[in-house]
Chain A
Amino acid sequence: MNRLRALSANIAPISLLVLVFIGCALIDGRILAPANLMIILTQSVPILILALGAFIVLLTGGIDLSAGVSVTLGSIVIASMLTTGANLFPALAAGLVCVVVIGIANGTLVTLFRVPAFITTLATMSCIQGISLLLATRGVYVINEPALKWLGTGRVEGIPVSILVAIIVICAAYVLMHHTRVGLRTYATGSDPTATALANISTSRVLMLAYVIAACFTFLAAVMLIARTPIVTPNLGGQSLLLDAIAACVLGGVSIFGGRGTVLGVVAGSLIVSLFANALRVIGVDPSSIDLMKGALVISALVCDVGIARLRGGVLKEESHDYR
């Protein structure tokens, strides 16, 4: 019985995906046309990768608001280096360093100075926005790098490369979160930091690592984004991508109180977000209303999250967790 309940919690995001899928099929057949499905999948790749990073931070009971603008910064660093004649790998390395430094800064403020995660990342978000604008002296960059282009639009045996990349990233995240010490300790820290510390685990180190790993995913998301859209502006990524990623996590059953959620759930959540946005567009909803719909989706997912928690009989964690 208990097993069944636990199982149903894991399956919930996937069944939600199936439901949305069936709903789309009933509303408009065009949504499920193979060509459109492929578009949905490729569009979901950056959201998915960013969501996996956000998931790791949410697991610890924190949040990374700077992830969206980190994507912007990473993209701009890579693009500006490429357009000034640098090779691909130094450009990617520079981008990675920038984003990881942000992760380290976030981690340091959260662990060493105990600044609440959302204040930390809200502040770094503002700083990163400034740096991005400062760096983007030319405003718009057009990347013309064959390797990146292949990553974004190429195909191997008819399968888009970006989807292959996504599958590799999903597998890596799955192994990391479900089959290594780091993953287990991240879950433990988010679920109950005091009890975890009693097991002689440095929760500060776990938190720090979570922010750095999340930064690596953020970097990958940036790469996949500019691989698909070679025109890079300071408006790329940012708030709306972050919101998509957080929505994907919440829809994927990641608890906002930390400690609960699965990689597969996040994958399902990302696909729901992507499918939802695409379906709205296909049906012909005015583009200006799509944000409203997404907002409503996030709020309903939050309410469902609380509903599920109450159904499970789990007590919501106390107020002191508000800011972590």
Chain B
Amino acid sequence: MTMPKLSMTKDSRETLLYGILGIIAFLFVWQLACMYTNFGKIFPTPLVSIRAFFLAFVQPIGRYTLLSHIAISLRRVLVGYALSSVAGVIIGLLMGYSKMAYAIIYPIFCIIRPIPGIAWIPLAILWIGIGESTIYFIIFMGGFSQMVMNTMDGAQNLDTELVGVAKVLGAQENQIFSKIVLPSTIPYIFTGLQTSLSTSWMAVLAAEMITAREGAGWLILAGMQTGRIENNVIGMISIGAVGLVLASLLRNLERRLCRWSVRSR
């Protein structure tokens, strides 16, 4: 799904040139729009935005500086994401491995599955109130169904011949699970982890916009409410950057753990 990295060949100089050209053109259009159109009445110029970005590291916006806001969002995402991943893998394995569990759980799961995590926000507030656990819950619901679906898919696509091989070699029923079912599901789990990470990141933004007084999502929204659009831009850039870092960390982990899988190479 992601674009392959550009190779550093003879063309790399040309690539760099055109890339810089693209960025400059973009900044130029932005600057012109600010100077000569109504756009400038609400939107800061590129220079103002960049200055504000660096200032935000030292000057607090709201109660915290930029880094603290990001750290707060990051902690929320990681807690909700960890919980949904663990629960999703367990339920997914259960449904993928046991036909009986699938028959019992799947119809109920189907009610929850198509509901976006963000749509749970009003219900979560009514159930739990406004606070950290509400945000965790929303992030949890954001990633949970994707984890379940991917893990289940993996366990259902299990190569039954390999189970036979293991049994002929003397593996017992409980060993089949830990030594065959689990490892062969891991690439699918990683696919789930990747998609679920980006939905979790989106869920935390939405949750913070609606229920929080700190965090990157709040930063973006507060920028709008106070008319300081540069804060808005700062928030978006940092959210994008952190999301990118998290996703590439996960890819590295996958490469290391799934060296055997063709997909990860």
Whether A and B are associated in the same complex: the answer reads no
